[in-house]
Amino acid sequence: MADLKVEVERGHGDATVRLHGDLDKLTAPLLKERLAGLSAERGLDLVIDAHELDFCDSGGLWVLVEHQRAVTASGGSLRLVGVHGVLRRVLDVTGLKAAFDEVLAA
């Protein structure tokens, strides 16, 4: 069974979400739940740290895209940092890299 650990660190007007493990159709609901409150905040600058993310499938990618839209709609931003491996390839192939404000390599 896949496993995902989600750590949230809050600041004033920003938050960093660190992902450890696999983000897939089984674990995506956990991330969606953790991001739900954050994406509704007005003007929040949200960083998703994928340095320790081992895998991401379309279910996980959809959660990231969905929350990027929500954060942007509320006047904030969502950046991905530490993007590597499967997530980088999926973002490149789908053209979704452009949907995020900034995508940084590991």
pLDDT digit string, tens, across residues 59-71: 999 999 999 999 9
Residues 71, 27: Cα–Cα separation, whole Å:
21
Give the SS3 label for residue 103: strand
- Which residue segment(s) compose the domain that 34 sits in? 4-105
Residue 36 pLDDT greater than 60, yes or no = yes
Question: Is the pTM here over 0.85, yes or no?
Answer: yes
Q: What are phi and psi of 86, to 5 degrees?
A: -60, -45
Residues 13, 6: Cα–Cα separation, whole Å:
19
Residue 105 pLDDT greater than 60, yes or no = no
Output the pLDDT for position 103.
61
Residue 47 sits in a domain whose CATH number is 3.30.750.24
Residues 60, 42: Cα–Cα separation, whole Å:
24
Output the pLDDT for position 81.
93
Number of domains composing the chain: 1
